[in-house]
Amino acid sequence: MNYSDKVMDHFINPRNVGELENPDGVGQVGNVNCGDIMRMTIKVVDNRITDINFKTFGCGAAIAVSSMVTEMVKGKTLEEAVLINRDDVAVALGGLPDKKLHCSNLGTDALKAAVNDFWRRTGQPQKVVKLEDEHLEQESEEASACCGSNERGCGQPSNGNPA
């Protein structure tokens, strides 16, 4: 499978990997077909995302998507952030193979789940947006389902070849 230089860059050098302490919102989603899981934690100040981290147990494209989403939404208002869709992320990454577009959905939906979590926590449930896909797991404050392993995902790829 051919990946753009940007995908490879974000896969090999993922930005904003990890989990924020005392996040204002947590979103965790899992793709029903491949079983891959993505978790995002956000900090919100004055209605803007001031910090965001991700953990992804998934394919190389999912790791690149996670990394790109965190860069795209930092500094944006919550309303601006949830407007970003999978095509915006794919374009920002210089394209994704058709087979990997669902990985892009996982990224935007993990972000939306985190923002929804913030809105629910802060008494604004009317703002909650719909996710693009159905997922194995949705908004969750449970401990991370990430394997914590460097072998696959978690932003710590063990080789240079995304799946």
Residues of this chain that bind ligand FES (CB under 6 A): 31, 34, 36, 58-59, 61-62, 100, 103, 106
Instruction: Using the minimum distance from each CB to ligand FES, give the nearer residue, 80 or 137.
Output: 137
Closest approach of Cβ 98 to ligand FES, in Å? 12
Q: Is 103 a catalytic residue?
A: yes
Q: In angstroms, rounded to a whole number, what is the distance separating the alpha carbons of residues 17 and 9? A: 14
Q: Are strands 48-57 and 25-30 parallel, antiparallel or unpaired?
A: unpaired
Shortest separation between residue 7's beta carbon and ligand FES, angstroms: 12
105 closest CA partner among 30, 53, 42: 30
Least distance (Å) between residue 80 CB and ligand FES: 24
* Coil, helix or strand at residue 111: helix
User: Residue with structure tokens 């939404």?
Assistant: 73
Closest CB to ligand FES among residues 43, 152: 152
Half-sphere exposure of 121 (CA within 13 A, CB side): 18
Of 59, 103, 146, 154, the catalytic one is 103
Return the number of the residue (52 or 62) whose C-beta is nearest ligand FES: 62
| Reduced 3-state DSSP string for 6-61 | HHHHHHHCCCCECCCCCCCEEEEEEECCCCCEEEEEEEEECCEEEEEEEEEECCHH
Give, as one character, the DSSP assignment of residue 64: H
In the complex, what is the shortest distance from the CB of residue 119 to ligand FES, in angstroms, rounded to a whole number? 25
Closer by beta carbon to ligand FES, 10 or else 100: 100
What residues act catalytically? 34, 103
